[in-house]
Amino acid sequence: MKSLGIVVRFPKKKHYYPNSGLEVIYAPNLLKRQFYPSEHNTQWVTDVTYIRSHQGWSYLACVLDLATKEVVGYALSQSPDTHLTLAALDDAIMKKSPKTGSLMVHSDQGCHFSSHAYRNRLKTLGITQSMSRRGNCWDNAVMERFFRSLKSERLNYLKFINHQSVVVETERYIRFYNYKRRHSSIGYLTPHEMYQKKQKVA
């Protein structure tokens, strides 16, 4: 990296993540930090993050496949509600066409994941729901790490005029992340390369 003149970007400050918490009645923590499934389209993780612009806040919901580390679906909105998280889920299902009866979706205990509309959507599709323990970000560490990479590698160095400018840069980073960014956890392949490898095996 030094010989190529590649500059490393680090987060500006460390975050403290508690290492304990309680499960909620809506769904147990079925994932239990098993972040490396052998098959793709069997274990997805999802979450929401926020991005500031001069007009206020934008909200990004993402769905990530643990087997390939690929962002398989996402949605952006100016409202952090269930419509946003459902849009990201629907985007992932439309793009990847998983066998929903064999799929588990893991999230935190946020209101947009515990709402009747979201839980009923999963139930209708036959998707198993899993939730992190209360106040425990480590239970969804892969999704949290993606958001950290998005912000520390790209968004934190930009100023956004409006929501549309947030959309443009976020989508640009997701394309970079899926098709060009290599990951040590999957043998220094890109998520898309890992997806293609899984497809050949299947």
Please tell me the predicted confidence (pLDDT) of residue 17.
45
pTM assigned to the model: 0.88
Q: What is the pLDDT of residues 45-74, one digit of tens each?
A: 999 999 999 999 999 999 999 999 999 999
Mean predicted confidence (pLDDT) in 97-114: 95
Place of tokens 């443009």: 168
| Mode of pairing for the β-strands spanning 104-107 and 128-131 | parallel
How many structural domains is the chain composed of?
1
Residue 77 domain-assigned (yes or no) = yes
Q: What ranges in 97-140 are assigned the alpha helix state H?
A: 111-114, 116-125
**To the nearest whole number, what is the mean pLDDT of the chain?**
91
Residue 18 domain-assigned (yes or no) = no
User: How much of the chain, in percent, has pLDDT values that exceed 70?
Assistant: 88
Please tell me the predicted confidence (pLDDT) of residue 136.
85
Q: Domain containing 191: what range?
A: 43-201
Mean predicted confidence (pLDDT) in 119-145: 94
